[in-house]
Chain A
Amino acid sequence: MDKYILIPLLPLTAFIINILFGKSVTKDKAHWVAILAVLGSFVLALHTFTEVLGGKTVNQDVYTWFVSGSFRVSMGFLIDQLTAIMLIVVTSISLLVHIYSVGYMHGDGGYYRFFSYLSLFTFSMLMLVMGNNLLQLYFGWEAVGLCSYFLIGFWYEKKSAADAGKKAFIVNRFGDFGFGLGVIMIFLTLGSVYYADIFSKIGTLQGQTINLLGYDVNLITLIALLLFCGAVGKSAQIPLHVWLPDAMEGPTPVSALIHAATMVTAGVFMVARFNPVFSLSEVAMNVVAVTGAVTSLFAATIALVQNDIKRIIAYSTVSQLGYMFLACGVGAYGAGVFHLYTHAYFKALLFLGAGSVMHAMSGELDIQKMGGLKKYMPVTYWTFLIASLSIAGIPGLAGFFSKDEILWLAYNGGPVGKVVWAIGTLVAALTAFYSFRIIFLAFHGKFRGTREQEHHLHESPKSMTIPLIILAVGAIAAGWVGIPSVVGGSNAIARFFQPVLGHPHVHAGHDEEWIVMGISVAVAMGGIFVSWVFYSLKPGIPRSLAANFKGIYTTLWNKYYIDELYDFIIIRPVKWTAVNVLMAVTDGAIIEGIVNGIPKAIANLSARLRKLQTGYVQHYAMSMAIGLFVIITLFLIAASK
C-alpha cells in the first residue's frame, strides 16, 4: 500500500516544498525537487504497471474522508489496467514536460511557482486516476482544474491570461454542476459512491425511471448523461469547448501536459471507467458518440483556417478528444483509451515543438510569419514532422493504430456507428490537412518574419530537444502495442484492457477491415497532399478560396461565433440582471423601499431618537429598559389572569 501512496504523495511533497520555500531556498533550483519527485512517481508507476501486467489489481482505502449518516467516502486507490495505463501516461509526460520546462521557463520570474504548480497538478491528476470512488475522482477533477486555472493564468499580469484562466474554471463548473448531481443521483439510488459497489449494483436500476418535471426518464440514462456533463466540460466537447483554445495563454509546457496529454483526457478516462454504467443506456451511448463525432468535425473545421500555431493544435486536441468519445460511444472504450494514450505522446510533442518554435521566434505564434524553420531547428522540425505524421494517421506510427482501431470499431457499431465512422473518416482527412498546413507554412518555404526574428533563430537547448526526441519515439512506437491481427499484430492492448473495458463484438470480416483501413490511409494521404498543394505548390489557392467563400471562411475564422453567442445569451443578461433588476429594483426599490419608506412614523421616530441621544450607551440602556418593561408588564398581565 505504501508504494501506491507514494505515487501521488511525492509530487505533493515537492509542491509543498517549492511553494513554501521556493522564494527563499530552492529558487532557480526548484526544478530539482519537482523532477526528482515526478521521477520517483514514474519509477513507481512503471513498477505498478508490471504488477498489473502480472494480473494484480488493488482496491484499498487509505482513510475515511468523511461520514454523514449513511453517506461514507474515503480516500483510496483502485489500481487496475485502466489506472495502470493512466499512471504511465501521466507520470511519463509529466516528467518530460518538467525537464523541458527547465529550458523553456529559464529566467522567468515565477520559476519556482511554475514548478510547484506542475507538481501540484501531477499530484492531483494521479489522485484523479487512482481513486476508488467518485468523490475522490471529483477531488482530483477539481484540483486539476484549479492547477489549470493557476497555469493558464500563470502570467497573470496579462489580462488575456487572467481572463482565460477564469473562463476555464467557470466553464468547467457548468460541467461539474451536472457531474455533481450525477454523483448525488448515484448515491441516492445505489447507496454508495465506490466504483466497486456502483458497478456491481447498477444493473438493479435497469428499467427504472424517474419523474423529471412530468416526464419519465430512464434512471441509468439520466445518471450517465449527468456524469457525461462533467466529461464535456473537462474534455472540452461541444458546447463547453470554449475554454480550451483560450487556455493557450498558459506557458506552452502547460499546454502540452495539461491541455493535451493528461487533464483534458480525464473526461474520456471517466467515461471509460464508468463503462458498466454507460453501456446499460443506449441513449447515453449515442449521445456520447454523436457529441464526440460532432465535436471532432466542428473543431477540425475551425483548425483549418487559424493562424495561431498553439490554437490550431488546441482545436486539434478538441477534435481528437471528440474521437475518443466517439470510440467510447460505440462501446470501443479500449480503443478510446488506446487513442488517449497514443495521443498523449504525439500531441505533447506537437505542443512542445510549438514551444520550441516560439522559443526561437521570441514568442511569435502566427504561422503566417514563420516559414523555412526547418534549416534553423532541425530537431524541432523532424520531431514535429513525426508527430504530424502520427496524428495524420500514417501507417506504422502510433496515431495510425489507435485511430484505425476506433474507425474500425465504429464501422462495426450499427447505424449510429456507421454515421460516426463516416464523420470520423472525414475528420481524419481534415486532421492530416491542417497538421501539414503547419509543417508547410512554418517549417518549409521562406522565412516571413522580421529580420530581427530571423537573426535570433536557433535550435532550442538540450533540455528541450531531448524531451522532443523521447516523445518522438513515443509518437512512433507507442501504438505498436495495438497492432491489429489483420496486419499480423496481436493487439496486445485490447486484450490488456479486456477485463476492465471489455471489447465490442465485431461482425464484419477481414476484407472490410482492409477496406476501412485503406480508406482512412487514403484520406490521410489526400489531406497531406492537398495541404502540400495549397501551402507549398500553389499558395494562391487558399487565398482565393477564402475570398470566394467569405461567409464560410469568416464563420470558421470566428470559431462559429460561439463565444459571442455565450456572451450575448448568458454573461450579459446575468450581469444586467444583477445591476438593473436585483440591485436597482428588488433590493433597492422594493425591499429598501418598504424598509426605509413605508412606516413613516417609525422613520420619524428613529430620527427623533437619533436627536435624543447624547451618547450611544444611554440610548441602548433605554431600549433595554423599555424591553424589560414590556416583559415585566406582560408578566404581570399573565400573572393576574
Chain B
Amino acid sequence: MSYPILSTVIFLPIVGAIFIFLIKRTSETLIKWTALLLSLLTFALSLPLFTDFDKTTAGMQFRETADWIPAWGIKYALGVDGISVLFVLLSTLLAILCVTISWNSIKLKTKEFYAALLLIEGSMIGVFCSLDLFLFYIFWEAMLIPMYLLIGIWGGPNRIYAAIKFFLFTLVGSVLMLVGIIVLYLNTGRSFDILQMMATNYPYDLQVILFWAFFAAFAVKVPMFPVHTWLPDAHTEAPTAGSVILAGILIKMGAYGFLRFNMPILPEATKAMAPAMMVLSVIAIIYGAVICLGQTDLKRLIAYSSVSHMGFVTLGLFALNMQGLQGGILQMINHGVVTGALFLSVGVIYDRTHTRQIADYGGAASVLPVYAAFFMVFTLASIGLPATNGFIGEFLIILGGFTASKVLGTLSATGIILGAAYMLWLYQRVFFMEVNPKLQGYKDMDMREILTLVPLLILVFWIGVYPNTFLSFMDASVQNLINRVNTAGQPQTAQHIIEVIK
C-alpha cells in the first residue's frame, strides 16, 4: 500500500471530526459508530508504521515534505524515527479505546464529544510526527483546545476549575517555549527545520537559555515536580476518555519534547542540566508515591502515581545512557498502557457507582470478579512485577539511573517499595474485605468493556515477556541521540557555530 501514512493518520481523524459535526445531533448511534470506525480505520492505516519500519536506521522515516509558507521558511514536514513511531501507534490504539469506553457514559453533547476526541487524536499524532517547529507548535497548541473542552464540558463537578488550571499551566509553559522557538528560528538561518537544528551547534549560553524555555513547556506537561499540581485536578475531573488521553499520550509529549528538542538540539546544555533534571525526577518519584498514600479519591491517587511514574521516565531520559533512555522511552509506552488501562478501569466502575471515593468501595472482587482480575493485572504492571511491562521499564531506568548516579539510582529504587504500598493498599480497599452494601447488585464487565481492556492486557504481557519487539524499534535512534549528546561541543564544530551565527 502506498499512501502518505503520516498525513493520513493525522488528518483522517481531523477530517472525520468535521464530518461528525455534519451529522444530525439526534443520530447518536450513527455518531458513535462513525467515531469508532474512524478510529479503527486510523489504527489500521497506522499499522504499516509497525510492520514496515526500518529498525536499522536512526534517520527519519515515512517522510513527507512540502513547502508551506516559503517566505518564512515554514515547511509541512513529517517523519518518524525510533523514538516517535511507537507513540503514534499508541495514540491510534488508545483513541479506539476512548471511543468504546465512552459508548454509554457520554450522553451530553455526544456529537461534540466524539468530534473533540478525534480532533485530539489527530493533533496529538501531529505533535509526534512534525519535523518543522512551526508545524509542531500548531499541533501542540491545537490539541489544547479540544482537551480543555473535554475536561470543561464532560468533566466532573469541579470541571471548570480543573480545565482552567490545566489551560493556564500549559499556556504559561507554552508561551516560554514560543519565545524559545522564535529564538531558535532566528539562530537557524530563519528555518523551522528540526533536523537542521539537530545538526546545528548553538553557543552554550544560548543553549542554556533555550533549554529552560523548552523546559518550561515540557516540565509542565510531564508533569515534573513542582509544576505537577494541575494533573490531579485535571485527571480527577476529566471524563474517562479524557483521563486516558491525558495519562496515555498528552503527558508523554513533555518527555517526548525533551527527547526531540532539548537533547539533540541543545546537547551541551542537556548534559550540564542533566543532574538537576535527575534530582527533580527523583523528588517526583518519591513525592508522588508518598502523596498517593494520603489519597481518598481513586482517580486522584492514580493521577499522583503518574507523577511518580513520570519521575522514573525523566530520570531514565536524563541518565543519558542506553539503558536509561531506552527504559525511559519504554516506560512512556508502559505508562500509557498501564495508567491508561487503570483510568479505563476506573471508568468502568464509575459508570456503575458514580463515585470516585475509595471509601465507597470494598469487596468489589466478590461482586465483579472479572473486573477485579483485570484491575489486578494492571495494578501488578503498575508496581513493576516481572513479566509485566512495568518491570522492564523500571529496571532499565534504575539501571541507567544508577549508572549515572549511585545515590539517585538508589533513591529512585525506593519507588518500588512505595509503589507496591500505595497500589496494593488501593486494591485492598476497593476489591478486598467485606462487600460494601453500596456495591451490591452491580453487574460485572460486559463484552464491550472487556474488549476495551484486552488490547492493553495483551500489551502488558507482550512487553513484559518479549520487550525486544519494542526495544528494537528504538535501538538505532537512541544510540544516535546518545552520540549526539556525548560528542556535542567538541572543538571541530566551533567553526561551524561561528558560520551559523553569521
Chain A residues within 8 Å of B, Cβ to Cβ:
23, 63-71, 135, 138-139, 142-143, 146, 149, 153, 156-159, 162-163, 166, 169-170, 173-174, 176-177, 180-181, 184, 187-188, 212-213, 574-575, 577-579, 582-583, 586-587, 590-592, 595, 602, 606, 610, 616-617, 620, 623-624, 627, 630-631, 634-635, 638
Contacts and interface: CB of A to CB of B under 8 A. Distances in A.
Contact of A146 (B168, B385, B414, B471): B385
Contacts of A177: 413-414, 416-417
A166 B363 contact: no
Contact of B387 (A139, A577, A590): A139
Nearest to A167: B424
B327 A68 contact: yes
Given A181-B410, A578-B292, A583-B291, A138 B386 contact: yes
A14 to B, nearest CB: 17
30 contacts: A65-B466, A65-B467, A69-B323, A71-B396, A135-B395, A138-B386, A142-B385, A143-B386, A146-B380, A149-B424, A153-B432, A157-B432, A166-B425, A173-B416, A173-B417, A173-B421, A180-B398, A184-B398, A187-B399, A188-B403, A574-B293, A578-B292, A582-B287, A582-B294, A591-B226, A591-B229, A631-B182, A638-B182, A638-B185, A638-B186
Interface residues of B, number: 73
B468 A67 contact: yes
B399 A71 contact: yes
Contacts of A156: 365, 431-433
A606 B291 contact: no
Contacts of B466: 63, 65
B144 A184 contact: no
A181 B402 contact: yes
Contacts of A574: 290, 293
A135 B369 CA distance: 32
Contact of A582 (B290, B396, B407, B420): B290
B149 A616 contact: yes
Interface in B120-162: 141-142, 144-145, 148-149, 152-153, 160
B392 interface: yes
B149 A630 contact: no
Nearest to B227: A591
Q: Is the interface of B mostly helix, strand, loop or mixed?
A: helix
A575 B294 contact: yes
B171 A623 contact: yes
Contact of B144 (A212, A583, A606, A620): A620
B292 to A, nearest CB: 7
Given A181-B410, A606-B164, A69 B322 contact: yes
A171 B174 CA distance: 43
Contact of B178 (A213, A583, A595, A627): A627
B420 A173 contact: yes
Contacts of B291: 578, 582-583, 587
A612 to B, nearest CB: 13
A595 B171 CA distance: 13
A170 B417 contact: yes
A149 B403 CA distance: 32
Nearest to B72: A635
Contacts of A635: 72, 182
Interface in B413-431: 413-414, 416-417, 420-421, 424-425, 428, 431
Given A71-B396, A582-B290, A602-B168, 20 more contacts: A23-B369, A66-B468, A67-B468, A67-B471, A142-B385, A162-B433, A170-B417, A170-B420, A173-B417, A176-B416, A177-B413, A181-B413, A188-B403, A212-B406, A574-B290, A578-B290, A583-B294, A591-B226, A591-B227, A606-B164
B16 interface: no
Contacts of A181: 402, 409-410, 413
Contacts of A184: 398-399, 402, 409
Given A591-B229, A620-B148, A157 B434 contact: yes
A156 B433 CA distance: 6
Contacts of B416: 173, 176-177, 180
A138 B399 CA distance: 14
B305 interface: no
A371 B152 CA distance: 69
B326 interface: yes
A176 B466 CA distance: 23
Contacts of B414: 177
B281 interface: no
Contacts of B403: 188
8 A-B pairs with least C-beta separation: A69-B322, A578-B294, A162-B432, A139-B386, A156-B432, A579-B294, A620-B145, A578-B293
Contacts of B395: 135, 180
Given A582-B294, A627-B178, A68 B326 contact: yes
A157 B386 contact: no
Nearest to A180: B413
Interface in B164-199: 164-165, 168-169, 171, 178, 182, 185-186
A579 B409 CA distance: 26
A615 to B, nearest CB: 10
B396 A68 contact: yes
A72 B186 CA distance: 44
Contacts of B385: 142-143, 146
Contacts of B428: 162-163, 166
Contacts of A591: 226-227, 229
A590 B392 CA distance: 36
Contact of A70 (B322, B396, B465, B467): B322
B366 interface: yes
Contacts of A143: 385-387
Contacts of A631: 178, 182
Contacts of B413: 177, 180-181
B42 interface: no
A586 B228 CA distance: 11
A21 to B, nearest CB: 13
A631 to B, nearest CB: 7
Given A68-B396, A578-B291, A624 B467 contact: no
A595 B399 CA distance: 35
Given A574-B290, A620-B144, A624-B145, A68 B168 contact: no
B321 interface: yes
Contacts of B467: 65-66
A177 B421 CA distance: 13
Contacts of B410: 181
Nearest to A576: B294
Contacts of A162: 428, 432-433
A595 B398 CA distance: 32
Contacts of B185: 638
Given A162-B432, A184-B402, A68 B471 contact: yes
Given A67-B468, A68-B323, A170 B366 contact: no
Contact of A617 (B142, B149, B409, B417): B149
Nearest to A110: B369
A188 B387 contact: no
Contacts of B160: 610
A187 B395 CA distance: 12
A519 B171 CA distance: 80
B471 A66 contact: yes
Nearest to A607: B164
Nearest to B112: A617
Contacts of A616: 148-149, 152-153
A17 to B, nearest CB: 15
A587 B420 contact: no
A575 B293 CA distance: 6
Contacts of B148: 616, 620
Given A68-B323, A143-B386, A184-B409, A157 B424 contact: no
B177 to A, nearest CB: 11
Interface string B77-97: 000000000000000000000
Contacts of A187: 399
B311 to A, nearest CB: 14
